[in-house]
Chains A and B, each alone.
Chain A
């Protein structure tokens, strides 16, 4: 199972969900497959889950999907106790765990290549529905279930290490454009003003 084919399954299932993504190949691949204005690809490590928690808290009627990676989650494990206590039913977390820090020129093992089990860590923090999937069929089953149910889901997806994202052209949209597109979409779909300062 690789991340791109996981995304190919997920993208057509998106309608009014909000998708918060992390960094690196994940951002490139999701952005390549989906141009939905409900995407908020924050392009930094260790922040997507926190932002997803904030969005899920203030928009309890919207489904929020967080796309994390092993490296990004390991950098922000402090989110898990908070999430376990909040138990947000409108939040689904996918952790695409390729067990490496994979930059444009590096490939170094992350802790999940060793003894760390992120789903077990999540369960230990009180996230009851935390599971690990290792093949595409299991992934599709768990993903569909998570999207259709109102329960906090935390799915660690063991994916192959790939370099396909390196062949995909990087987005030309900068982060401010990206943010405004997301906020204007939310303002339109929520029927309220979000940015309050006068232009």
Chain B
């Protein structure tokens, strides 16, 4: 991903009031991690498992810091039970910053990635998690702002799926 796009993602999250990020590193969007780390307005917590990331960000969210989880698409599968029980059943707002690997527009797509990519949106739909797909930087700031507003409105997770230009 180009540095400019990474900066716009992080800048938009900051403008939206996100101040807590738990994450499990992945490749495609990895340029955002140092930007989170360099900005003291973000509390950044690396984890070992996306289920853990969901629960830690849920605690941070209810504790008063609007929270995000940054993960690869595989993390939605791994974290799905906590997304259901904490995100949906308990009703905890959080943003899911997801590298949408294996999508039709994934520049790194392969045999390995395609299957989890194909099933990612059906998984989100089955969990009734609202999502927005980002293919390029058009209206990025406005759309992220809308996702933050939706997260606060429904007090549930909202997923941002990054593919296309974000996967170079």
Pair from one complex: yes
The chain A residues found within 8 Å of chain B, CB to CB, are 20, 40, 42-44, 46-47, 49-59, 76, 78-79, 81-82, 86, 175-176, 179, 182-183, 186-187, 190, 192, 194-198
Interface of B is mostly: helix
6 closest Cβ pairs, A-B complex = A54-B59, A50-B55, A197-B152, A51-B59, A78-B49, A54-B60
- Judged by a CB distance under 8 angstroms, whether B1 is at the interface is no
CA distance A53 to B51 in the complex (A): 13
CA distance A3 to B59 in the complex (A): 25
Closest residue to A190 on the B side, CB-wise? B64
Given contacts A57-B45, A86-B45, contact A79 B62 (CB under 8 A): no
Give every chain B residue within 8 A of A176 (Cβ-Cβ).
90-91
- Judged by a CB distance under 8 angstroms, whether B145 is at the interface is no
Give every chain B residue within 8 A of A42 (Cβ-Cβ).
85-86, 90
CA distance A178 to B46 in the complex (A): 29
Give every chain A residue within 8 A of B59 (Cβ-Cβ).
20, 50-58
Residues from 38 to 58 in B contacting A, C-beta threshold 8 Å: 43, 45-49, 51-52, 54-58
Give every chain A residue within 8 A of B152 (Cβ-Cβ).
195-197
Given contacts A50-B58, A57-B56, A58-B20, contact A179 B64 (CB under 8 A): no
A78 CB contact (under 8 Å) in B20, B52, B93, B149: B52
Closest residue to A197 on the B side, CB-wise? B152
Give every chain B residue within 8 A of A56 (Cβ-Cβ).
59
CA distance A198 to B153 in the complex (A): 7
By the criterion CB–CB under 8 Å, are A194 and B52 in contact?
no
By the criterion CB–CB under 8 Å, are B58 and A54 in contact?
yes
Nearest Cβ in chain B — how far from A129, in angstroms?
21
Query: 18 A-B Cβ contacts within 8 A?
Result: A42-B90, A44-B82, A46-B51, A46-B81, A47-B82, A50-B51, A50-B52, A51-B55, A53-B56, A54-B20, A54-B58, A57-B63, A58-B60, A78-B49, A175-B89, A179-B92, A187-B64, A196-B17
Mask of B102-143 contacts with A, CB within 8 angstroms, 1/0: 000000000000000000000000000000000000000000
Closest residue to B58 on the A side, CB-wise? A51
Extra inter-chain contacts (13) besides given A40-B62, A46-B82, A176-B91, CB under 8 Å = A46-B81, A47-B85, A50-B51, A50-B56, A57-B45, A58-B43, A76-B55, A78-B52, A79-B52, A179-B91, A186-B62, A194-B63, A197-B151
Give every chain B residue within 8 A of A47 (Cβ-Cβ).
51, 55, 58, 82, 85-86
